[in-house]
Copies of this chain bind each other. A is one copy, B any other.
Amino acid sequence: MAKKVIVKKGEVLQRSGEMNTKVFHVQSGLLRSYCLDYKGKEHIFMFAPEGWTIADAIPAEQPSDLYIEALEDSEVIILPKDVERENHNTATLLRRLYVLQKRVIMLMSSPAIERYEHFIETYPDVAQRVSQKMIASYLGITPEALSKVKNARRK
């Protein structure tokens, strides 16, 4: 049913277009999920450090929208989605819902610099472990814009 795998930095656990019948629970290390836009540019949807669960929320019958990839060597528990659905407790789902609501609100109503500061405050640990490029991609801007915006802040 559930199995444990060890993945190396850079390994892709799931690709866009593949069937997405799996849920990934991170025991150690760091994963990310991301999509590609029509220009082939990556947009990070979510980071998953130790203790987090990551999956494409699209119904299991449909092919995945997201890639899931290891940003560090990681130990990952892979669960089939149907099992996850039965076991999943409501509190966890409500928490994920809240995180996404916050994300939508930030994307719509805050400029890049505020999204950056909010990210640093909310995920100080992740911010330490990933490149500026990854942070920019999560914030929805380019690395160049992030560099500019940080620079402008310290006047």
**Interface on A for B, CB 8 Å cutoff?**
35-38, 41, 43, 45, 56-59, 65, 85-86, 88, 90-91, 93-94, 96-98, 100-105, 107-110, 140
Contacts and interface: CB of A to CB of B under 8 A. Distances in A.
A100 B85 CA distance: 18
A98 B140 contact: no
Given A97-B97, A100-B100, A105 B35 contact: yes
Contacts of A65: 101-102, 105
A18 B58 CA distance: 33
A96 B85 CA distance: 14
Nearest to A33: B101
Contacts of A107: 104, 107-108, 140
A52 B143 CA distance: 39
A88 B85 contact: no
Given A57-B94, A57-B97, A97-B97, A41 B104 contact: no
Contacts of A94: 57, 59, 85, 93
